[in-house]
Amino acid sequence: MEYRELGKTGLKLSSISFGASSLGSVFREVSVDACIRTVHASLDNGINFIDVSPYYGLTLAETNLGLALKEIDRERYILATKVGRYGQAEFDFSADRVTRSIDESLARMNVEHI
């Protein structure tokens, strides 16, 4: 796997990222077991950057990702999530909602930082 430095952060991201929308059954129903196996296979093959959103499956993607990452060393992956959209027509970019969204995402994924 090729890795690229993210600006001057010192972070090295895999050139291929894992887009986690499918973990929210966005395209078709996906079992929790399939979600876990897919995330583990991605990490085992060198992917270390995972992109998710609370909007994917209306929080299901973050929840399933949290289950998949439960036993994985936190240093093995870099997470990105989004804020602002929470439902089909529910958008809120206020400071309070952004802060709550981050806290909710952290809890769903069982991580301390994103």
pLDDT confidence of residue 49: 99
Give the chain's domain count: 1
3 state DSSP class of 72: coil
Read off the CATH number of the domain in which 38 is found: 3.20.20.100
pLDDT confidence of residue 86: 87
Three-point CA angle 88, 67, 10, nearest 5°: 90
pLDDT confidence of residue 101: 96
Question: For 18, how many CA atoms within 13 A lie in the half-sphere containing its CB?
Answer: 25
> What's the rounded Cα separation, in Å, for the pair 35 and 23?
6
Residue 114 lies in a domain: no
86 included as an active-site residue: no
pLDDT confidence of residue 77: 98
Q: 1 with 45: CB under 8 angstroms?
A: yes
Residue 105 lies in a domain: yes
pLDDT confidence of residue 88: 84
Q: Which domain holds residue 43?
A: 3-109
What does pLDDT average to in each consecutive run of 10 residues of the chain (114 residues)? 96 98 96 98 98 96 98 96 90 96 97 96
Residue 46 lies in a domain: yes
Q: Which of 3, 55, 56, 86 is catalytic?
A: 56
Residue 102 lies in a domain: yes
The pTM for the full model equals 0.93
Q: What is the DSSP letter of 92?
A: -
